[in-house]
Structure 1
Amino acid sequence: MKSHIILINYNGPSTELFSFMPDNGLASLSSFALSEGYEPLVLDYITTETGKRLFNMKMKETIKEVYRLNENLQEQDRIKKMNEFKKLFHKLIEEEEDRIGKEIISAIKKFNSTIVGFKLWEGMGFHGSIRIAEKIKKEYPRIITLGGGPHVDMYDSHILEFTRNFDFLIYGEGEIPLIELIKYTQGKGNLKSIPNLIYRDGSEIIKNPPRFISNLEELPSPLYDEEIYPAMKEGKKINVFLLEESRGCPNRCKFCIHPRKSGSSWRNKKPSIVVDEMEKIINKYSSSTFRLTGSNPPPGLLTSISKEIIKRKLTVNFSTFGHTRAFPEENYPLMRKAGCRAMAFGIESGSQYILDESIGKGISVKQSKDALKASKEAGIYTIASVIVPAPFETKETMDETFNLLLEANPDSVTVQFAILNPNTIWWEDAEKYNFQFKDREKLLKKLMKRIPPSLLPPPLWERIHYKLNDMNDREILKISQGFIERLRKHGIEHGTSDFVAILALGAGWIVRELKEKSDLALWKGDFDTITEIVNSINKD
């Protein structure tokens, strides 16, 4: 008998336009499961339709009142009233999650599913997925529930300690462990032999060793067919696709989990295979706009892919991560000719001291400057991301970063203060890198459960529970915001990702106009406008 698998994607209220792009991870898992003889169904709730349901009139009125109180500094018991509205905000979200849970239960019954998997995001997506899984377990106690995705990569076994609503977790790459787990539920194999799996054995939680797929070309192309991925119907998702060209990263950036998540060595598809997949999507799903997913493509791969695109005379638009160290081996003008419209570079700092002692990226300031300039000169929308403040940051090192950005003059800069994530070098040796906290285990649990800033004003934001360079979170945030304002005063835009850039440029929008219009609509919960934006992108 075939196993029927349902895969769920839910992240709470969406705050970024690009979150409405199809989820290539779940589409890839579905395709792999189908190729192994199983029947998958993706229920993606990160859609314009879910946004409209979450932001009903009562929710909009609640958010409006919270911001009225936030601006009225003289109103008595202002913070107390704001917190009451915050409770209502979360209550309204929970009510919609209850409805989503009922819909999934109906799908389980109709689909006769034996396994339900959740992609676990941070914050409200994490808590909402737990709540939905709990409803499913109450209705179907014997059904297998599992979690995977970015939150599992960071918090792994601690999630099973926090909730019993998931039977299993999969960290890292999910294709092989998902299939092996299905076989286990059919009485084949044993749990100990399944890689990347986390599970309970009595009172003990077991984390099996990782395994990485050596040949990515053996994986079937992701499937976005409406019968498998019904959210692709009727403009609920943006018809722009993530395209996997590589996995793995040999760098050991001290803040990053990617080497542990996807391996410390490069694995990439041949350029001809990558462009084959582009053509499949063009022909089958009527889209010619892509975002390459590799967090650090091997040097020369992007140029080779571009040559293949030009050779086939394809008209496409794509964006990608770029690595400054790969610049001499990449031909940016040729990439632009092939359709590369935007590149994001994680330069992190303009201070060599910070790069060497705090970041560990193995690059020089000169490499960052040269790569950013070359990308922009080639006509590619160029984004630089920096960490400010970083461990050991001083006024002098921030000035160095500012001066680099001023000289390189990227189209946009994203600024983020140093975030302490588990399964990173910063986490393992936090004191060495100037992070201060009292209890590591308590901090981990707080970070796992934390709801990051979203749609509510700063007085209602949850604290980050640690200090950096002897500063608390408000002092850290003040420095980051001050740096952003300093950039803006000198005409450098902030906050545009390459995701938003490619959505805009691929559809003929001005990048800044798309970002401003979509940000305002998401903040207001105006999903009529978001739907119009999505339709305009899909039309083009």
Structure 2
Amino acid sequence: MDCLFVHSPKFNNYYRPLGAYTFINYMPMGVLALADLLTREGYETEVVHLGVEWIEDRGFSLLDYIGRTHPRIVAFPLHWHPQAYDVMEQARQVKEAFPEVFVLLGGLTASYYHREIVEQFSCVDAVIRGEGEIPLLRLVEAVRNSGALEQVPNLTWRRGEVVCENPLAYCASQEIVDGLCFTNFTLLKNHRTYIDWVLMPFFVKGFSKERNRLFFSLKTRMFDLMIGRGCPVNCTWCGGGRDAQRLIAGRRQVIFRDAERVLDSIREALRWGYETMHVCFDPYPQQPDYYLKLFARIREEALPVEFFFESYGLPTREFVDAFARTFGPRSLLALSPESGVEEVRRRNKGYAYTNQELWDCLAYIRDKGVKVDLFFGLGLPFERAEDLQETARLITRIRRHFPNVQGIRTFTIEMEPGAPWQRHPERFGIETNQLTFSDFSRIIKRKRRDLARSAIIYPGTSLISVRVPGRHSNRGCRRSGAAVFVLSIPMPAGRAHRSGGGCSAAPRP
């Protein structure tokens, strides 16, 4: 075999009422596309999802599987930072057992920390930075033919004791992205399990597949639909915004896939048994022409599909009208006000809006019969304890007036590699101990999400927010988090504290 892709979830997580669970079960949407690209170029390729293998066979051994399949390259996607410890541990074991195997990393987190990883982790032979289609093809060819690595774009690698950084010379064009296939599930080992049972970012270990689906899913098979790449704005917490993508991938413009290629992906996903398309790519919320045309084509084709669409800002009325005409009652729009305080929202979101604009938009969506999910943040830069009360009041008003709002969820904001507040904490009144890759890996290793270690205490108030497993958006906007319950418990005054590492936000000046 030429290349074995290995997706490793974060295996060791704990939440007291439910017990142990796996996290980061969704694969990055580009993994199947890269595997398919290699296959079409004549290279033998397979994808193994260690979480899926654990579900099907608790005794599955990656090392035994490598011993049977003999891959030249083992490629670990390291896209989201909660995977860091598990991915590096798997890479270490592979290299110790098979020193001749070329161990490769890719993804946003690996790209951001590419040099540190290659310098400090001898188990990793190379990291492909940024977007990987052409770099991966050239690397696989070089490894198969014992060729030189100097001509592989975007590659950070080791020559003896010297770390080499090849130029960041490749960033995919629309033509290349249009030629990719994101639905070749035949390349994924036990793909039926992934499609039918990996329905949320987490999987509770003590529950069966059936009970996980019953209690912890949206009761629909949801496919992450690839629409495009890039972002024109920066949100303070996001490691996939404009500046991060320029730094990590050299991407300076937004590209959209051709709508007909997107329709191909929808048709193929439906044939595999998916029912709902999840879209988290909305770089121009006030310019909906692309989606208006796509929705019109879906209606023309009469495709029996639902949509879960995450808007980066507020959707226009034209967008809402088209959404209502195109999709059925199980579809919904997701909006992320983040805070009930307009100034906090303005200072953190790339596309901010007033509370009145949010209210008017919700009213229009309600009148069109479309369901909505709302997402709020907690622990935002410049946020004060009293701002949480304002957010709570806004949430209460929304619940009273908008029965079409299906869920209102509040999440603590985690530090993301490459996010503006992680790169420049001093600009946001932030103190953080999550600066290097080793910082993230060490914190992730020791973190256990039980009640005692997952609280943020707000000084001078009676509020404790408790984190529980929740949303982890692993698509375009790299934001992770956990659901929050706010409990009224008398607390002494003191400094705000976020346990288990992370950051503390200074009061707004």
Query: Which bracket does the TM-score occupy, shorter chain normalised?
Result: 0.7 to 0.9
Instruction: Give the direction of change, closer, same or farther, for the CA distance of 1:484–1:352 in structure 2 (3 Å limit).
Output: farther
Secondary structure at the counterpart of residue 277 of structure 2: strand
User: Quick check: 367-376 or 273-282, which moved more?
Assistant: 367-376
Aligned to 1:391: 381
Question: How far apart, CA to CA, are the structure 1 residues paired with 2:461 and 2:437?
Answer: 24
TM-score, length-scaled by structure 1: 0.68
For 1:370-385, what aligned pairs fall within 5 Å after superposition? 370-385=360-375
The amino acid of 1:276's aligned partner reads: D
Secondary structure at the counterpart of residue 138 of structure 1: helix
Unpaired stretches in structure 2, ≥5 consecutive residues: 14-20, 200-220, 400-404, 475-482, 484-509
Unpaired stretches in structure 1, ≥5 consecutive residues: 55-95, 462-472, 486-493, 500-514, 516-540
Aligned to 1:50: 54
For 1:323-338, what aligned pairs fall within 5 Å after superposition? 323-332=312-321, 334-335=323-324, 337-338=326-327
Question: How far apart, CA to CA, are the structure 2 residues paired with 1:393 and 1:133?
Answer: 39
Greater strand proportion: 2
Question: How far apart, CA to CA, are the structure 2 residues paired with 1:368 and 1:305?
Answer: 25
Question: How far apart, CA to CA, are the structure 2 residues paired with 1:255 and 1:390?
Answer: 8
The amino acid of 2:63's aligned partner reads: K
For 1:130-529, what aligned pairs fall within 5 Å after superposition? 130-186=88-144, 191-201=149-159, 202-204=161-163, 206=165, 208-209=167-168, 211-215=170-174, 217-226=177-186, 228-233=187-192, 235=196, 237=198, 240-259=222-241, 260-261=244-245, 263-283=251-271, 285-294=272-281, 296=283, 299-300=287-288, 301-332=290-321, 334-335=323-324, 337-339=326-328, 341-409=331-399, 410-437=405-432, 445-451=438-444, 457-459=450-452, 474-475=456-457, 482=464
- The offset of 1:209, in angstroms, is 2.0
CA contact (8 A) 1:320 1:343 kept: yes
Aligned to 1:24: 29
Question: How far apart, CA to CA, are the structure 1 residues paired with 2:358 and 2:91?
Answer: 45
- The offset of 1:435, in angstroms, is 0.8
Aligned to 1:12: 10
Secondary structure at the counterpart of residue 324 of structure 1: coil
Instruction: Give the direction of change, closer, same or farther, for the CA distance of 1:116–1:320 in structure 2 (3 Å limit).
Output: same
Question: How far apart, CA to CA, are the structure 1 residues paired with 2:8 and 2:460?
Answer: 31
Aligned to 2:61: 100
Q: Percent identity?
A: 19
- The offset of 1:497, in angstroms, is 7.7
CA contact (8 A) 1:388 1:415 kept: yes
Instruction: Give the direction of change, closer, same or farther, for the CA distance of 1:478–1:138 in structure 2 (3 Å limit).
Output: farther
Instruction: Give the direction of change, closer, same or farther, for the CA distance of 1:125–1:374 in structure 2 (3 Å limit).
Output: same
CA contact (8 A) 2:236 2:421 kept: yes
Instruction: Give the direction of change, closer, same or farther, for the CA distance of 1:198–1:373 in structure 2 (3 Å limit).
Output: farther
Secondary structure at the counterpart of residue 382 of structure 1: strand
Question: How far apart, CA to CA, are the structure 2 residues paired with 1:307 and 1:142?
Answer: 52
CA contact (8 A) 1:309 1:338 kept: no
Aligned to 1:72: none
Greater helix proportion: 1
- The offset of 1:212, in angstroms, is 2.3
Question: How far apart, CA to CA, are the structure 2 residues paired with 1:394 and 1:192?
Answer: 51
CA contact (8 A) 1:354 1:393 kept: yes
- The offset of 1:249, in angstroms, is 0.9
1:53-105 CA-to-partner distances (Å, cap 9, x unmatched) read 66xxxxxxxxxxxxxxxxxxxxxxxxxxxxxxxxxxxxxxxxx7xx5232332
- The offset of 1:172, in angstroms, is 2.6
Instruction: Give the direction of change, closer, same or farther, for the CA distance of 1:52–1:479 in structure 2 (3 Å limit).
Output: farther
Question: How far apart, CA to CA, are the structure 1 residues paired with 2:98 and 2:443?
Answer: 29
Question: How far apart, CA to CA, are the structure 1 residues paired with 2:308 and 2:83?
Answer: 26
**How many residues were matched structurally?**
429
Instruction: Give the direction of change, closer, same or farther, for the CA distance of 1:362–1:189 in structure 2 (3 Å limit).
Output: farther
Instruction: Give the direction of change, closer, same or farther, for the CA distance of 1:445–1:136 in structure 2 (3 Å limit).
Output: closer
CA contact (8 A) 1:19 1:46 kept: no
Question: How far apart, CA to CA, are the structure 1 residues paired with 2:381 and 2:471?
Answer: 24
